[in-house]
Amino acid sequence: MTNLPLAGIRVLDLCIVLAGPTCGRTLAQYGAEVIKIDPEHRPPQLTPWLDVGRGKRSIALNISTPEGLDTFLKLVDSADVILEGFRKGVTDRLGIGYEHVRAKNPGIVYASINCFGRSGPWELRPGFEQNAQAATGVQLRNSGGEGQPRPATFTLNDYGTGIAAAYGVMMALLEREKTGKGQHVEAALSHTSATISAPYHVNHKNYVRDDVGGPGARGLNALAGLYESADNWVFLSAFSEDQWQKLCLLDEFSHLKSKEVFSSKASRSENDLHLREILEEIFVTKPSDYWVETMKSAQIPLVKNTTAAEIHEDDFNHARGLIRGKDYSNSQEINSSWGKTTWSGNPVNMSKTPLQDVFPPVFGAETLNVLKELGITTEKIDQLRKAGVIPKQLPINI
Protein backbone atom coordinates (compact mmCIF):
# COMPACT_ATOMS: atom_id res chain seq x y z
CA MET A 1 0.00 0.00 0.00
CA THR A 2 1.59 3.27 -1.16
CA ASN A 3 -0.56 5.55 1.01
CA LEU A 4 0.87 4.31 4.30
CA PRO A 5 2.55 7.02 6.41
CA LEU A 6 6.12 5.75 5.94
CA ALA A 7 5.86 4.69 2.29
CA GLY A 8 9.10 5.58 0.51
CA ILE A 9 11.23 5.38 3.67
CA ARG A 10 14.08 2.84 3.50
CA VAL A 11 15.32 1.31 6.76
CA LEU A 12 18.43 -0.83 7.25
CA ASP A 13 17.88 -3.09 10.27
CA LEU A 14 21.02 -4.59 11.84
CA CYS A 15 19.38 -5.59 15.12
CA ILE A 16 18.92 -8.97 16.78
CA VAL A 17 16.78 -10.40 19.60
CA LEU A 18 13.61 -8.32 20.24
CA ALA A 19 13.89 -4.59 20.96
CA GLY A 20 15.59 -3.46 17.75
CA PRO A 21 13.65 -5.86 15.50
CA THR A 22 10.42 -4.63 17.13
CA CYS A 23 11.35 -1.12 16.04
CA GLY A 24 11.94 -2.34 12.47
CA ARG A 25 8.69 -4.30 12.38
CA THR A 26 6.74 -1.30 13.67
CA LEU A 27 8.18 0.93 10.95
CA ALA A 28 7.30 -1.76 8.38
CA GLN A 29 3.72 -1.85 9.66
CA TYR A 30 3.46 1.84 8.82
CA GLY A 31 4.77 1.32 5.30
CA ALA A 32 8.56 1.61 5.48
CA GLU A 33 10.73 -0.63 3.34
CA VAL A 34 12.82 -2.44 5.97
CA ILE A 35 15.87 -4.40 4.85
CA LYS A 36 16.96 -6.86 7.56
CA ILE A 37 20.70 -7.52 7.34
CA ASP A 38 22.23 -10.61 8.97
CA PRO A 39 25.33 -12.68 8.29
CA GLU A 40 24.82 -16.25 7.13
CA HIS A 41 25.98 -17.67 10.46
CA ARG A 42 23.33 -15.77 12.44
CA PRO A 43 19.98 -17.23 11.40
CA PRO A 44 17.23 -16.36 13.91
CA GLN A 45 14.96 -18.68 15.84
CA LEU A 46 11.65 -19.17 14.09
CA THR A 47 9.35 -17.84 16.83
CA PRO A 48 10.89 -14.35 17.05
CA TRP A 49 11.28 -14.30 13.27
CA LEU A 50 7.53 -14.80 12.84
CA ASP A 51 6.96 -12.13 15.48
CA VAL A 52 9.39 -9.27 14.88
CA GLY A 53 10.94 -10.30 11.56
CA ARG A 54 7.72 -9.53 9.73
CA GLY A 55 7.42 -6.91 7.05
CA LYS A 56 11.12 -6.96 6.15
CA ARG A 57 13.25 -7.88 3.19
CA SER A 58 15.86 -10.33 4.46
CA ILE A 59 19.39 -10.30 3.09
CA ALA A 60 22.38 -12.35 4.25
CA LEU A 61 25.47 -10.11 4.18
CA ASN A 62 28.68 -10.33 6.21
CA ILE A 63 29.57 -6.69 6.86
CA SER A 64 32.68 -7.63 8.86
CA THR A 65 34.49 -8.30 5.56
CA PRO A 66 35.82 -5.42 3.42
CA GLU A 67 33.55 -6.36 0.51
CA GLY A 68 30.57 -6.73 2.82
CA LEU A 69 31.22 -3.34 4.39
CA ASP A 70 31.51 -1.75 0.95
CA THR A 71 28.19 -3.31 -0.06
CA PHE A 72 26.51 -2.09 3.11
CA LEU A 73 27.79 1.44 2.56
CA LYS A 74 26.28 1.38 -0.92
CA LEU A 75 22.94 0.66 0.78
CA VAL A 76 23.53 3.56 3.17
CA ASP A 77 23.50 5.98 0.24
CA SER A 78 19.86 5.14 -0.48
CA ALA A 79 18.73 4.69 3.14
CA ASP A 80 16.72 6.98 5.39
CA VAL A 81 17.12 5.07 8.65
CA ILE A 82 19.65 2.71 10.22
CA LEU A 83 18.78 0.60 13.27
CA GLU A 84 21.58 -0.96 15.32
CA GLY A 85 21.63 -2.78 18.63
CA PHE A 86 25.33 -3.20 19.35
CA ARG A 87 27.21 -2.19 22.47
CA LYS A 88 28.83 1.23 22.34
CA GLY A 89 31.94 1.25 20.14
CA VAL A 90 31.14 -1.83 18.06
CA THR A 91 29.69 0.04 15.08
CA ASP A 92 32.70 2.38 15.04
CA ARG A 93 35.04 -0.61 14.91
CA LEU A 94 33.00 -2.05 12.05
CA GLY A 95 33.17 1.23 10.15
CA ILE A 96 29.43 1.88 10.31
CA GLY A 97 29.21 4.23 13.32
CA TYR A 98 26.97 7.28 13.27
CA GLU A 99 29.66 9.82 12.42
CA HIS A 100 31.02 7.66 9.60
CA VAL A 101 27.58 7.07 8.14
CA ARG A 102 26.50 10.69 8.54
CA ALA A 103 29.51 11.81 6.51
CA LYS A 104 28.17 9.76 3.61
CA ASN A 105 24.49 10.56 4.14
CA PRO A 106 23.78 13.70 6.22
CA GLY A 107 20.05 13.01 6.18
CA ILE A 108 20.34 9.62 7.87
CA VAL A 109 18.31 8.91 11.01
CA TYR A 110 20.49 6.55 13.03
CA ALA A 111 18.87 4.67 15.92
CA SER A 112 20.98 2.94 18.58
CA ILE A 113 19.09 0.50 20.82
CA ASN A 114 20.70 -1.32 23.75
CA CYS A 115 20.17 -2.11 27.43
CA PHE A 116 21.86 0.66 29.40
CA GLY A 117 22.32 3.54 26.95
CA ARG A 118 25.41 5.12 25.48
CA SER A 119 26.54 7.33 28.35
CA GLY A 120 27.14 7.02 32.06
CA PRO A 121 28.93 4.40 34.17
CA TRP A 122 27.01 1.48 32.59
CA GLU A 123 27.46 2.52 28.96
CA LEU A 124 29.65 -0.47 28.04
CA ARG A 125 27.72 -3.12 29.93
CA PRO A 126 25.87 -5.79 27.97
CA GLY A 127 22.34 -6.59 29.06
CA PHE A 128 18.94 -7.95 28.18
CA GLU A 129 15.32 -7.75 29.39
CA GLN A 130 15.82 -9.16 32.88
CA ASN A 131 18.94 -7.06 33.46
CA ALA A 132 16.93 -3.93 32.72
CA GLN A 133 14.19 -5.07 35.08
CA ALA A 134 16.68 -5.71 37.88
CA ALA A 135 18.37 -2.33 37.38
CA THR A 136 15.12 -0.38 37.66
CA GLY A 137 13.35 -2.05 40.57
CA VAL A 138 10.82 -4.00 38.52
CA GLN A 139 11.78 -7.36 39.97
CA LEU A 140 11.56 -6.03 43.52
CA ARG A 141 8.11 -4.56 42.87
CA ASN A 142 7.07 -7.78 41.18
CA SER A 143 7.87 -9.71 44.35
CA GLY A 144 4.44 -8.83 45.68
CA GLY A 145 5.82 -7.78 49.02
CA GLU A 146 7.26 -11.24 49.70
CA GLY A 147 10.78 -9.85 50.03
CA GLN A 148 12.46 -11.77 47.21
CA PRO A 149 12.75 -10.24 43.72
CA ARG A 150 10.80 -11.97 40.98
CA PRO A 151 11.35 -11.40 37.25
CA ALA A 152 8.39 -10.31 35.20
CA THR A 153 7.88 -13.20 32.81
CA PHE A 154 7.10 -11.07 29.77
CA THR A 155 9.41 -8.82 27.78
CA LEU A 156 7.81 -5.46 28.55
CA ASN A 157 11.06 -3.56 28.03
CA ASP A 158 12.07 -5.24 24.76
CA TYR A 159 8.77 -4.48 23.08
CA GLY A 160 8.38 -1.14 24.85
CA THR A 161 11.84 0.00 23.80
CA GLY A 162 11.26 -1.11 20.21
CA ILE A 163 8.05 0.90 20.02
CA ALA A 164 9.65 3.90 21.77
CA ALA A 165 12.56 3.79 19.32
CA ALA A 166 10.09 3.65 16.43
CA TYR A 167 8.32 6.83 17.49
CA GLY A 168 11.74 8.44 18.06
CA VAL A 169 12.68 7.54 14.49
CA MET A 170 9.38 8.87 13.17
CA MET A 171 9.85 12.17 15.05
CA ALA A 172 13.37 12.43 13.64
CA LEU A 173 12.00 11.88 10.13
CA LEU A 174 9.41 14.58 10.75
CA GLU A 175 12.15 16.94 11.95
CA ARG A 176 14.16 16.10 8.82
CA GLU A 177 11.25 17.34 6.73
CA LYS A 178 11.79 20.76 8.35
CA THR A 179 15.59 20.93 8.43
CA GLY A 180 16.83 18.43 5.86
CA LYS A 181 19.14 16.95 8.48
CA GLY A 182 19.12 13.56 10.14
CA GLN A 183 20.08 12.83 13.73
CA HIS A 184 21.09 10.15 16.22
CA VAL A 185 18.20 8.53 18.13
CA GLU A 186 18.98 6.52 21.26
CA ALA A 187 16.75 4.10 23.18
CA ALA A 188 17.56 1.69 25.99
CA LEU A 189 15.71 -1.08 27.77
CA SER A 190 16.61 0.29 31.20
CA HIS A 191 15.36 3.75 30.23
CA THR A 192 12.07 2.26 29.07
CA SER A 193 11.81 0.25 32.27
CA ALA A 194 12.31 3.38 34.38
CA THR A 195 9.75 5.30 32.31
CA ILE A 196 6.99 2.71 32.62
CA SER A 197 7.73 2.61 36.35
CA ALA A 198 6.92 6.32 36.42
CA PRO A 199 4.66 6.37 39.54
CA TYR A 200 7.60 5.12 41.60
CA HIS A 201 9.70 8.09 40.52
CA VAL A 202 7.19 10.68 41.70
CA ASN A 203 8.24 12.53 44.83
CA HIS A 204 6.77 15.45 46.77
CA LYS A 205 6.40 16.81 50.27
CA ASN A 206 4.92 14.29 52.70
CA TYR A 207 5.24 11.49 50.13
CA VAL A 208 5.76 8.12 51.78
CA ARG A 209 7.79 5.85 49.52
CA ASP A 210 6.79 2.20 49.40
CA ASP A 211 8.96 1.03 46.54
CA VAL A 212 10.15 -2.41 47.58
CA GLY A 213 7.32 -4.86 47.15
CA GLY A 214 4.97 -2.29 45.68
CA PRO A 215 1.49 -3.64 45.12
CA GLY A 216 0.67 -6.83 46.99
CA ALA A 217 1.03 -10.18 45.34
CA ARG A 218 -2.64 -10.13 44.35
CA GLY A 219 -3.27 -6.45 43.72
CA LEU A 220 -3.31 -2.99 45.24
CA ASN A 221 -5.87 -3.79 47.92
CA ALA A 222 -8.91 -5.96 48.64
CA LEU A 223 -11.09 -4.14 46.10
CA ALA A 224 -8.43 -4.07 43.39
CA GLY A 225 -6.90 -7.49 43.17
CA LEU A 226 -6.87 -11.12 42.15
CA TYR A 227 -9.29 -13.71 43.53
CA GLU A 228 -9.53 -17.42 42.95
CA SER A 229 -12.96 -18.54 41.76
CA ALA A 230 -14.23 -22.10 41.62
CA ASP A 231 -12.46 -22.69 38.27
CA ASN A 232 -10.16 -19.76 37.48
CA TRP A 233 -8.67 -16.51 38.73
CA VAL A 234 -10.47 -13.18 38.33
CA PHE A 235 -9.35 -9.60 38.85
CA LEU A 236 -11.75 -7.24 40.62
CA SER A 237 -11.52 -3.45 40.23
CA ALA A 238 -13.95 -1.65 42.53
CA PHE A 239 -12.15 1.61 43.25
CA SER A 240 -14.96 4.09 43.81
CA GLU A 241 -17.52 4.48 46.57
CA ASP A 242 -20.25 3.99 43.97
CA GLN A 243 -18.76 0.63 42.96
CA TRP A 244 -18.55 -0.42 46.60
CA GLN A 245 -22.23 0.39 47.05
CA LYS A 246 -23.12 -1.60 43.92
CA LEU A 247 -21.06 -4.52 45.17
CA CYS A 248 -22.99 -4.52 48.44
CA LEU A 249 -26.28 -4.70 46.54
CA LEU A 250 -25.32 -8.11 45.18
CA ASP A 251 -26.70 -11.04 47.17
CA GLU A 252 -23.34 -12.63 47.92
CA PHE A 253 -21.91 -9.38 49.29
CA SER A 254 -24.98 -7.76 50.90
CA HIS A 255 -23.87 -8.61 54.44
CA LEU A 256 -20.80 -6.40 54.05
CA LYS A 257 -22.90 -3.24 54.13
CA SER A 258 -23.93 -3.82 57.74
CA LYS A 259 -20.36 -4.21 58.99
CA GLU A 260 -19.14 -1.03 60.68
CA VAL A 261 -15.50 -1.83 59.87
CA PHE A 262 -16.29 -1.39 56.15
CA SER A 263 -18.57 1.66 56.43
CA SER A 264 -16.15 4.13 54.81
CA LYS A 265 -13.25 4.10 52.42
CA ALA A 266 -10.88 4.89 55.29
CA SER A 267 -12.19 2.08 57.45
CA ARG A 268 -12.04 -0.37 54.56
CA SER A 269 -8.42 0.61 54.06
CA GLU A 270 -7.67 0.04 57.75
CA ASN A 271 -9.32 -3.38 57.61
CA ASP A 272 -8.12 -4.34 54.16
CA LEU A 273 -6.75 -7.75 55.13
CA HIS A 274 -10.00 -8.71 56.83
CA LEU A 275 -12.01 -7.59 53.80
CA ARG A 276 -9.78 -9.58 51.45
CA GLU A 277 -10.27 -12.73 53.52
CA ILE A 278 -14.05 -12.34 53.30
CA LEU A 279 -13.98 -11.73 49.56
CA GLU A 280 -11.73 -14.75 49.04
CA GLU A 281 -14.30 -16.95 50.77
CA ILE A 282 -17.07 -15.57 48.54
CA PHE A 283 -15.35 -15.70 45.16
CA VAL A 284 -14.17 -19.30 45.52
CA THR A 285 -17.79 -20.51 45.75
CA LYS A 286 -18.75 -19.76 42.12
CA PRO A 287 -17.08 -20.18 38.70
CA SER A 288 -15.42 -17.30 36.90
CA ASP A 289 -18.11 -16.94 34.20
CA TYR A 290 -20.72 -16.43 36.91
CA TRP A 291 -18.67 -13.64 38.48
CA VAL A 292 -18.00 -12.00 35.10
CA GLU A 293 -21.72 -11.81 34.30
CA THR A 294 -22.71 -10.83 37.84
CA MET A 295 -20.22 -7.96 38.00
CA LYS A 296 -21.06 -6.90 34.46
CA SER A 297 -24.71 -6.50 35.42
CA ALA A 298 -23.63 -4.35 38.38
CA GLN A 299 -21.24 -2.29 36.22
CA ILE A 300 -18.24 -3.36 38.29
CA PRO A 301 -15.05 -4.17 36.31
CA LEU A 302 -14.02 -7.80 36.68
CA VAL A 303 -12.06 -9.91 34.20
CA LYS A 304 -11.11 -13.55 34.37
CA ASN A 305 -7.55 -14.53 33.62
CA THR A 306 -7.37 -15.71 30.03
CA THR A 307 -4.84 -18.13 28.54
CA ALA A 308 -3.06 -17.63 25.24
CA ALA A 309 -4.96 -20.64 23.88
CA GLU A 310 -8.30 -19.00 24.74
CA ILE A 311 -7.23 -15.79 23.03
CA HIS A 312 -6.34 -17.73 19.88
CA GLU A 313 -9.61 -19.66 19.93
CA ASP A 314 -11.75 -16.52 20.15
CA ASP A 315 -13.12 -15.74 16.68
CA PHE A 316 -13.58 -12.06 17.58
CA ASN A 317 -9.87 -11.67 18.27
CA HIS A 318 -9.19 -12.84 14.74
CA ALA A 319 -11.96 -10.67 13.30
CA ARG A 320 -10.67 -7.51 14.97
CA GLY A 321 -7.10 -8.25 13.85
CA LEU A 322 -5.59 -8.93 17.26
CA ILE A 323 -4.47 -12.31 15.93
CA ARG A 324 -3.27 -12.51 12.34
CA GLY A 325 -1.51 -15.26 10.43
CA LYS A 326 -1.10 -17.38 7.35
CA ASP A 327 -1.15 -21.06 6.45
CA TYR A 328 2.09 -22.08 4.77
CA SER A 329 1.34 -25.81 4.82
CA ASN A 330 0.63 -26.09 1.10
CA SER A 331 3.27 -23.60 0.02
CA GLN A 332 5.76 -24.72 -2.58
CA GLU A 333 8.39 -22.45 -1.04
CA ILE A 334 11.00 -23.21 1.59
CA ASN A 335 8.76 -21.80 4.34
CA SER A 336 6.19 -24.60 3.93
CA SER A 337 7.73 -26.15 7.06
CA TRP A 338 6.27 -23.26 9.08
CA GLY A 339 2.80 -24.76 8.72
CA LYS A 340 -0.15 -22.78 10.00
CA THR A 341 1.26 -19.72 11.73
CA THR A 342 -0.19 -16.85 13.76
CA TRP A 343 1.17 -13.59 15.10
CA SER A 344 -0.07 -10.47 16.83
CA GLY A 345 -1.75 -7.71 14.87
CA ASN A 346 -1.13 -3.97 14.99
CA PRO A 347 -2.55 -2.43 18.21
CA VAL A 348 -3.23 0.90 16.48
CA ASN A 349 -6.15 1.70 14.18
CA MET A 350 -6.19 4.79 11.95
CA SER A 351 -9.45 6.07 10.51
CA LYS A 352 -7.94 7.43 7.27
CA THR A 353 -5.04 5.03 6.84
CA PRO A 354 -5.89 1.34 7.11
CA LEU A 355 -2.71 -0.41 8.19
CA GLN A 356 -1.36 -3.48 6.43
CA ASP A 357 -0.62 -6.87 7.85
CA VAL A 358 3.05 -7.67 7.36
CA PHE A 359 4.44 -11.12 6.73
CA PRO A 360 7.69 -12.85 7.70
CA PRO A 361 10.32 -13.20 4.97
CA VAL A 362 12.38 -16.26 4.23
CA PHE A 363 15.84 -15.77 5.70
CA GLY A 364 18.19 -14.31 3.09
CA ALA A 365 15.59 -14.55 0.33
CA GLU A 366 15.97 -10.95 -0.88
CA THR A 367 19.77 -10.91 -0.97
CA LEU A 368 20.24 -11.13 -4.72
CA ASN A 369 17.34 -8.79 -5.50
CA VAL A 370 18.68 -6.08 -3.21
CA LEU A 371 22.21 -6.41 -4.59
CA LYS A 372 20.95 -6.15 -8.15
CA GLU A 373 18.93 -3.05 -7.22
CA LEU A 374 22.23 -1.51 -6.10
CA GLY A 375 23.58 -2.10 -9.59
CA ILE A 376 25.89 -4.94 -8.57
CA THR A 377 26.56 -7.19 -11.55
CA THR A 378 26.18 -10.96 -11.71
CA GLU A 379 29.97 -11.29 -11.95
CA LYS A 380 30.44 -9.21 -8.81
CA ILE A 381 27.78 -11.23 -6.98
CA ASP A 382 29.71 -14.40 -7.83
CA GLN A 383 32.85 -12.81 -6.40
CA LEU A 384 30.96 -11.94 -3.20
CA ARG A 385 29.88 -15.58 -2.91
CA LYS A 386 33.43 -16.82 -3.29
CA ALA A 387 34.67 -14.32 -0.69
CA GLY A 388 32.05 -15.47 1.85
CA VAL A 389 30.29 -12.10 1.86
CA ILE A 390 26.99 -13.71 0.90
CA PRO A 391 25.99 -17.38 1.21
CA LYS A 392 26.62 -19.80 -1.60
CA GLN A 393 23.09 -21.20 -1.22
CA LEU A 394 20.04 -18.95 -0.81
CA PRO A 395 17.56 -18.72 0.78
CA ILE A 396 18.29 -20.34 4.15
CA ASN A 397 15.76 -22.45 6.01
CA ILE A 398 15.08 -21.67 9.67
- Cα distance between residue 70 and residue 74, in whole Å: 6
- Cα distance between residue 236 and residue 251, in whole Å: 17
Pick from 85, 89, 86, 76: nearest CA to 35 = 76
What's the CA dihedral at 86, 89, 94, 100 to 10 degrees? 110
The pLDDT of residue 124 is 83
pLDDT one-digit tens code per residue, 307-323: 989 998 999 999 888 89
- In the chain, the domains with their CATH numbers are 10-196+331-386 (3.40.50.10540), 220-228+233-304 (3.30.1540)
CB-based contact 114:85 (threshold 8 Å): yes
Q: Which residues of the chain have pLDDT under 70?
A: 1-2, 144-147, 210-217
Instruction: Report CA torsion sign: 239, 244, 250, 253.
Output: positive
Give the H or E element holding residue 323. Answer: strand 323-327
Could you tell me which residues come within 8 angstroms of residue 231 by beta carbon, excluding any fewer than 6 positions away?
287, 288
pLDDT one-digit tens code per residue, 98-110: 999 999 999 999 9
The pLDDT of residue 143 is 73
The pLDDT of residue 210 is 66
